[in-house]
Amino acid sequence: MSRTPWSAPIAAWLATTKTSIDWDGTGVLTPVPLALRAMIFFVKGDIAAAEKEAAAGLAASKRAEMPLYDPPLRAVLVFCALQRGDLAAAAHALWRLLTGLVASAESGPHAAIDEIRELAQDSSLRRKLVLEAPVGVGPVLV
């Protein structure tokens, strides 16, 4: 991270948070600082670091068997791919984000799949969704 007036306090807070957040040893909250760092790196334009932190957060989430933080982490991956101009990777990351959200829907994936069926079956609609996504809103959405 390049230095800004607020980067030192944030870095210190993230370091403290990372060491103290998992007091019970389950790892459930481990993805939180990784998600925060991923968003900060994205906003600062360090796409590679943002992707690295998001991937680490997803791995931590999987290890803890707690996908609560997957949507913001996957959103960072979508916006990073869009920023790089890699539409295939963006579409894949977006699909993973949507299927994750569907799986966690309160009424279950079968009830929610009708909501995204048209998107799943129409490649031009998927392309339009990816192309029209405002890149700068990533941190706002997550």
Can you read off the two tokens belonging to residue 117? 């069926």
pTM over 0.75: no
Amino acid found at 59: A
* Range of weakest confidence among 26-30, 75-79, 120-124: 120-124
Q: Does the pLDDT at position 114 exceed 70? A: no
Angle, alpha carbons 120-123-127 (nearest 5°):
110
Q: Determine the Cα–Cα distance for residues 90 and 142; give it in Å rounded to an integer.
A: 16
Q: Determine the Cα–Cα distance for residues 61 and 139; give it in Å rounded to an integer.
A: 19
Are the CB atoms for 75 and 91 separated by under 8 Å? no
Domain boundaries, the chain: 29-141
pLDDT bracket for residue 70 (50, 70, 90): confident
pLDDT, tens digit, 9 for 90 and up, residues 35-53: 888 998 998 899 999 999 9
Please, how many CA atoms are within 13 Å of residue 78, restricted to the half-sphere of its CB?
A: 27
